[in-house]
Amino acid sequence: MTGTFEKASISAEAAQAVIAACVAKAADHGGAFVIVVLDESGVMKASLRMDGAPLVSVQVATDKAYTAAGFGLPTDTWFDFINGDAPLRLGAPTGIDRLVAFGGGYPLKVGEAIVGAVGVSGGHWSDDMEVAKAGVEAFAN
């Protein structure tokens, strides 16, 4: 049909597998995390707030996944991207809704196509990154 296109999206089954891999990695850390998987459009596909995870981590994990899905970049790359550019450094964090510029969010891709994203929050951003990477690796395999 003219005027339409198709795009791939993460399945519910794959989103649950990402969550499970993140939970397994979180157990290694001994912490409580919130894990969120969004589809390619930034809509919730799956989520889990582990027992004891901070309430605010629900929003932070969701926004990390949203940033990763929206830009197709891991959230930790944003800090360096905006740090050397004064207008972006001053405007992006307050001017781009839901932008997170620290680690814990990753796009999920099939080839070059973004099909979803995972966001993790609950620990230091470096711990969030490790937990989220486990989900990315599970999705890639």
* CATH for 17: 3.30.450.150
Domain count, the chain: 1
Find all residues with CB under 8 Å of 51, minimum gap 6, and list them: 32
In a domain, 90, yes or no: yes
Give the separation between CA 54 and CA 3, rounded to whole angstroms.
44
In the prediction, which pLDDT does 127 show?
A: 96
Considering the domain boundaries, does residue 3 fall inside one? no
Query: Which pLDDT value is given to residue 78?
Result: 80
For 71: left if phi > 0, alpha if psi spans -120 to 50, otherwise beta; the answer is alpha
Residue 35 CA to residue 2 CA, distance in Å, equals 38
Q: Which helix (H) or strand (E) holds 64?
A: helix 56-71
Domain housing 82: 12-140
Q: What is the side-by-side strand order in the sheet with 113-121?
A: 44-49, 34-39, 113-121, 105-110
Report residue 101 CA to chain centroid gap: 12
Q: Is residue 7 part of a domain?
A: no
pLDDT, averaged in runs of 10, over the chain (141 residues) = 86 98 94 97 97 96 95 89 71 70 94 96 96 97 83
